[in-house]
Amino acid sequence: MLKINHLFVSIEKKEIIKNFSLEINPKELHVLMGPNGSGKSTLGFTLMGHPDYLLNEKSKIVLDGVNITNLNPEERAKIGLFLAFQNPIAVPGVRVVNFLRMAYNQKFKKLNPDTKNSGELGPLEFYQLLLKNAQLLGIPEDFLSRNLNDQFSGGEKKKMEMLAAIILQPKYSILDEPDTGTDIDALKVIAKGVKILQKQGSGVILITHYQRLLKYLKPDEVHVLKEGRLVTSGNNNLIMEIEKEGYQSFN
Amino acid sequence: MIIMNFVPLEYKLGFSDDIDYHQKVGTGLSEKIVRQISAYKNEPDWMLKFRLRALGYFKNKPVPKWGGDLSKIDYEAITYFLNPVSKKVNSWKELPSKIRDTYEKIGVPEAERDMLAGVEAQYDSSVIYGSIKKKLDEQGVIFTDTDSALRLYPDLFKEYFGTIIPPMDNKFAALNSAFWSGGSFIYIPKGTRVDLPLQAYFRINAKNMGQFERTLIIADEGSTVKYLEGCSAPVYTSDSLHAAVVEIVVKKNATVQYTTIQNWSGNVYNLVTKRSRVEENGTMSWVDCNIGSKLTMKYPSCYLMGKGARGETLSLAIAGKNQHQDVGAKMIHVGAHTSSTAISKSISRGGGRNSYRGLVEVQALAEKSKSKVKCDALILDATSRSDTYPTIKVNRSDTQMEHEATVSKVGADQLFYMQSRGLSQNDAEAMIVNGFAEPIIKTLPMEYALEMNRLIQLEMTGSVG
């Protein structure tokens, strides 16, 4: 279980998230909605350990019994947390396949490998694994050799984030607006990716503004974040209510 | 903000051996020492005169005010000649075990085992190891240390030595000319292709020791040769000086590629003059990778004399803490239809500084010449610096000139993105740097490319292995 307890988050002395708590089990899908500026992306960055966001001493994040509150981002990733970025960052000169192989090997290499199986994959083995999953998401093969997010379209970036998530098999994934800027075909791919993640055992926190992705998915819980506070939680019906009424009625 | 936390660089190759030097001339800079060196080497009179003349130029020339800070060099504290073994040996087994160990750490034996035609390894001042494949002899190729060449091929030597870079060229060429020792001498006969690259390793291994190797390559008409040098040096607390001179003669239709991977430790002043003279339809290509040293000043040059001569420089410089790489290229177009390309990539980190300093000169008779200069800089943190000083002098109206420069920075957002996928900051930075340097590295032979990647990894992470 991923337990988020009494999260207070501030940046440059401005408090963005106020006393946010949430629990999520493996394979569950939680949808987090809320108006612009309510702190949804801040929550994603905070959970992943972004150094700009400061927590107060009450805040606690526990992943399957491990307190990760003070770990750095790469340690959190290795333990099994994943953040799909709303705006994936371009890294010119670094190829997708090389980057993901390094990430994969960092995560899956064994500390005390037996001689036969170190847990790491060589370039060819990894390429096969990556290609198989890319095909599953309809990502053309030539993308794997391109520079990371460099001159990718919005939809291409979002698909690539899903590919990274599936390859790294996180225990818990935070997907920050994976549907923004995507066409209908890409949207279906993203939905498929979410299902694959759940099937792999990942608990998913899906941050979104729109209902359109949710048509393809079955959320277990829906939460509304407003002005940094979790104002309400519910089931699928809550989504319909938001779609009709907006966020005004929630306080 | 992500706080940049560079682990101080531990110099992997920074070991030093306790060698009993057979021959050592006292420290300091004097006519007496020049005479001593020349007498020890049993040189002809013209060489002694050449050295003494050069010493005069050195003493009279002011220290350059441009480039890097040269004010801290104490010329009197430097040992001008060392000779670790008294005679050359022909196999690794004959080498003293300490020297052998040193070479094994920097990978020379492997280099030889694998694919290289010849190893001409320089341990301090004299070449103590040389193994040259039989084929080179059969082809009539001369590949030897420069001291031996003076004895064995006196006429050929005298015809070219000091003609591309005369002693009065600059202060450090003069210093080298007065005290030179070792280096490689290569002659490729007309129409001869040398397919495997010729390689030499240089290494400074004594406290305050000046290393003044002197390389001369003559590629006769229609010949082709590739030469590679890799440098590494142990760490010392006081400053060392490396002032080499490399002269290359590229005759009609000949092609020479000269590749350097330079990895001096952080206390070395690396002040090198490299110049080629390229005749009709000849091609000169410099590949110059500078990692390490305290200050490097090096501007490989091509004098494109003959019609259709081509010059190319590809350079990669990495400047870390307390390092200044002041490097670039000089392309002098003298003949008609000459063309040149200078591509420079620099990486600055941990407070290091890179300067690109280049010259393109198109002279009055160089009709319809072409030149392209491209400088890309990558800066890893706010304390590091990169600047360019391009000079372009064109005396014609039919010249095609291109100049391009880019500066990019590694952003905190890039690092966080990569870290959030499980990479450490060092791994993430090394990956970005490797990606940036790849266009240069991929032009290197595979073994050098691997070594270069390993050196970058080492530079970025400060870890061994």
DSSP code per residue over A66-91: EE-TT--HHHHHHHTEEEE-SSPPPE
Chain B contact set for A72 (CB, 8 A): 419
Chain A contact set for B435 (CB, 8 A): 91-95, 147
What is the amino acid identity at position B98? Answer: K
Per the listing, tokens 């080629």 go with B276
Q: Does A240 touch chain B (CB under 8 A)?
A: no
Chain A contact set for B421 (CB, 8 A): 77, 99-100, 103, 164, 168
B141 domain residue, yes or no:
yes
B330 domain residue, yes or no:
no
Shortest Cα distance from A137 to chain B (angstroms)? 20
Q: Do A48 and B420 touch (CB under 8 A)?
A: yes
Q: What is the dihedral of CA A211, A217, A218, A221, to 10 degrees?
A: -50
Give the residue from B347, B421, B426 with the most A CB atoms within 10 Å of its CB, the best one to mutate. B421
Cβ distance A162 to A186 under 8 Å?
no
**Per-residue confidence (pLDDT) for residue B20, from 0 to 100:** 53
ipTM of the complex: 0.96
B413 domain residue, yes or no:
no
Mean pLDDT for B106-115 is 45
CA B333 – CA B182 distance, rounded (Å): 31
CA–CA–CA angle B303, B369, B255 (5° rounding):
45
Mean pLDDT for A35-51 is 95
> Looking at chain B, which residue has its C-alpha nearest residue A49?
B420
Structure tokens at B243: 């002032």
Structure tokens at B316: 């990669």
For A63-93, the pLDDT digits (tens) are 999 999 999 999 999 999 999 999 999 998 8
B86 domain residue, yes or no:
yes
CA B279 – CA B274 distance, rounded (Å): 17
Give the residue from B316, B407, B420 with the most A CB atoms within 10 Å of its CB, the best one to mutate. B420
With H, G, I as helix, E, B as strand and everything else as coil, classify residue B356: strand
What is the amino acid identity at position A55? Answer: L
Q: Do A77 and B427 touch (CB under 8 A)?
A: no
B450 domain residue, yes or no:
no
**Model confidence at B114: pLDDT above 80:** no
CA A128 – CA B231 distance, rounded (Å): 39
Helices (H) and strands (E) counted in chain A, each on its own, are: 7, 13
Q: What is the dihedral of CA B436, B439, B440, B446, to 10 degrees?
A: 110
For A109-128, the pLDDT digits (tens) are 877 766 667 788 988 999 99
B465 domain residue, yes or no:
no
Domain with B114 in it: 7-167+174-225+234-239
Query: Considering its fold, how many domains does chain B have in total?
Result: 1
Cβ distance B106 to B199 under 8 Å?
no
**Per-residue confidence (pLDDT) for residue B82, from 0 to 100:** 63
Q: How far apart, in Å, are the Cα atoms of B238 and each of A175, A244, B64, B71? A: 55, 76, 22, 14
Chain B contact set for A74 (CB, 8 A): 419-420, 422-425
Q: What is the dihedral of CA A170, A171, A177, A178, to 10 degrees?
A: 40
Q: Do A73 and B436 touch (CB under 8 A)?
A: no
Mean pLDDT for B193-220 is 72
B193 domain residue, yes or no:
yes
Mean pLDDT for B199-207 is 51
Q: Do B423 and A49 touch (CB under 8 A)?
A: no
Chain A contact set for B417 (CB, 8 A): 85, 88-89, 91
> Looking at chain A, which residue has its C-alpha nearest residue B410?
A91
User: How confident is the prediction for chain B on average, in pLDDT?
Assistant: 82
CA–CA–CA angle A78, A81, A84 (5° rounding):
120
B393 domain residue, yes or no:
no
**What is the widest separation between alpha-carbon atoms in chain B?**
68
Q: Does A122 touch chain B (CB under 8 A)?
A: no
Residue B273, Cβ neighbours under 10 Å: how many? 24
Show the beta-strand stretches assigned E in B14-173: 23-24, 82-83, 118-123, 126-132, 142-145
pLDDT bucket at B95, cuts 50 / 70 / 90: low
β-pairing, A91-95 vs A147-148, is antiparallel
